């Protein structure tokens, strides 16, 4: 490996580690509060949903139907916004700015009062995440927002209300990611590069789920966790979990 490449690898990992350490130090209380909300919802018979648009959807998908994950976590998906497979890819960005779309999605979703919705949006400034949070709360659901609060300080709101995602949540976890979501610069390269938001946001989501599992266990409730289907007995375990919580899991047949 060239010294140039080695330097860039080291700089990126240093940047990602700094962000992770900062979130750990400054956001542990918020992460714990979010995890307790998840546990409260599970214990009270509610359902769990996660939403993110574009690349923010990656962290939402990371806690849905996976080994070691909470079986009750469901992806609240919006066609054209779950990933970047829509063509042209710019359509996803355009849809995130459409006012009224969140209400339409929630109208046909299974989300109801007493449920919990995690809304993930790095900037938290566009219409869809803002309205997804505000509409969900208006319908009696609790909302956890995972976002970079820096955007609310340093950018103009993208919603006519003048509000950001952080203004419509019961709990906000600040990812601390800088505006622009690029950690590195280099002489001769015109734009900053190397995003760390997915690394940080996925770590936040997994830590929230860890707190939820621990909180449920402390309360004497078996956390509805999934095992890997690639270990002996894993599929039988998961079948039993799916059967017990069938009315609260929407990603099965």
What is the pLDDT, as a whole number, of residue 1? 53
What is the pLDDT, as a whole number, of residue 71? 96
Integer Cα distance of 224 and 77 in angstroms:
22
Token pair belonging to 135: 């509409």
Backbone angles phi, psi at 171, to 5 degrees: -140, 135
What is the pLDDT, as a whole number, of residue 253? 58
| Cβ atoms of residues 74 and 250 within 8 Å | yes
What is the pLDDT, as a whole number, of residue 96? 83
| Cβ atoms of residues 122 and 180 within 8 Å | no
Residues in the chain with pLDDT values less than 70: 1-3, 83, 253
Token pair belonging to 237: 């375990």
DSSP class per residue in 149-208: THHHHHS--SSTT---GGGG-SEEEE--PPTTS--B--TT-SS-B---HHHHHHHHHHHH
* CA nearest neighbour of 58 among 146, 159, 150, 168: 146
Residues 6+ apart with CB under 8 A from 97: 126, 127, 128, 158
Let me know how long the chain is: 253
* Strands lying side by side in the sheet with 116-120: 73-75, 48-52, 116-120, 142-147, 171-174
Q: Is the dihedral of CA 105, 110, 116, 122 positive or negative?
A: negative
The kind and range of the H/E element at 147 are strand 142-147
Name residue, tokens 């266990």.
Answer: 217
pLDDT in tens, 100-152: 999 999 999 999 999 999 999 999 999 999 999 999 999 999 999 999 999 99
| Region label for 203, one of left (φ > 0), alpha (ψ between -120 and 50) or beta (otherwise) | alpha
What is the pLDDT, as a whole number, of residue 149? 96
């Amino acid at each position: 490996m060239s010294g140039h490449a080695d330097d860039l690898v080291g700089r990126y990992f240093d940047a990602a580690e700094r962000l992770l350490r900062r979130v750990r130090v400054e956001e542990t209380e918020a992460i714990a509060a979010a995890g307790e909300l998840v546990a409260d919802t599970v214990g009270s018979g509610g359902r769990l949903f996660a939403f993110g648009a574009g690349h923010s959807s990656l962290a939402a998908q990371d806690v849905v139907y996976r080994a070691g994950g909470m079986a009750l976590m469901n992806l609240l998906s919006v066609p054209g916004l779950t990933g970047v497979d829509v063509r042209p890819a710019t359509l996803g960005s355009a849809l995130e700015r459409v006012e009224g779309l969140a209400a339409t999605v929630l109208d046909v979703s299974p989300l109801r009062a007493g449920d919990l919705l995690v809304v993930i949006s790095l900037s938290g400034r566009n219409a869809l995440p803002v309205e997804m949070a505000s509409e969900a709360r208006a319908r009696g659901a609790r909302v956890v927002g995972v976002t970079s609060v820096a955007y609310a300080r340093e950018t103009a709101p993208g919603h006519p209300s003048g509000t950001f995602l952080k203004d419509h949540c019961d709990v906000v976890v600040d990812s601390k990611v800088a505006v622009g979501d690029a950690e590195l610069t280099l002489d001769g390269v015109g734009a900053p590069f190397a995003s760390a938001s997915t690394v940080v946001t996925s770590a936040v989501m997994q830590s929230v789920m860890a707190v939820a599992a621990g909180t449920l266990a402390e309360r004497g409730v078996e956390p509805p966790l999934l095992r890997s289907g690639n270990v002996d007995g894993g599929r039988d375990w998961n079948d039993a979990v799916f059967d017990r919580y069938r009315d609260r899991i929407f990603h099965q047949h």
